[in-house]
Amino acid sequence: MTKRILSALPIIALTLCALLLPGRIGAYVFLLFATIMMIFGCREVFGMVPLSRETSCHSIAISCACLLVWVSPFTPLPSATALEALVLFISVLGLFALIFLNPPSRKLTQDILLSLGVILYFCWPLSSMAKLYFSGDSDGRFLLLYLIIITKLADTGAYVIGCAMAKRPGGNHFLAPTISPKKSWEGLLGGTLFSVVAACLLYLLCRNHFLFHGKHFFNAFDCILTGVMASIIGLFGDLAESALKRAAKLKDSGSLPGIGGILDTLDSLIFMAPFFYIYLCLRALF
Give 90-138 pLDDT, tens digit per residue.
999 999 998 888 887 888 888 899 999 999 999 999 999 999 999 876 7
Q: CA 14, 190, 2: angle at the middle one, nearest 5?
A: 40
> Which residues, including other chains, have CB under 8 Å from residue 58's CB and lie 6 or more apart?
42, 43, 46, 111, 115
Residues 89, 111: Cα–Cα separation, whole Å: 18
Task: Please tell me the pTM assigned to this model.
Answer: 0.91
Higher local confidence (pLDDT), 79 or 159: 159
Element (H, E) at 175: strand 174-176
Please give the C-alpha separations between residue 92 and each of 53, 61, 275, in angstroms, as whole numbers: 19, 9, 23
Residues 185, 28: Cα–Cα separation, whole Å: 41
β-pairing, 174-176 with 180-184?
antiparallel
> Which residues, including other chains, have CB under 8 Å from residue 165's CB and lie 6 or more apart?
171, 172, 184, 186, 187, 190
**For the chain, domain boundaries:** 2-285
Quick: pLDDT tens for 218-274. Answer: 999 999 999 999 999 999 999 999 888 888 888 877 766 666 788 888 999 999 999
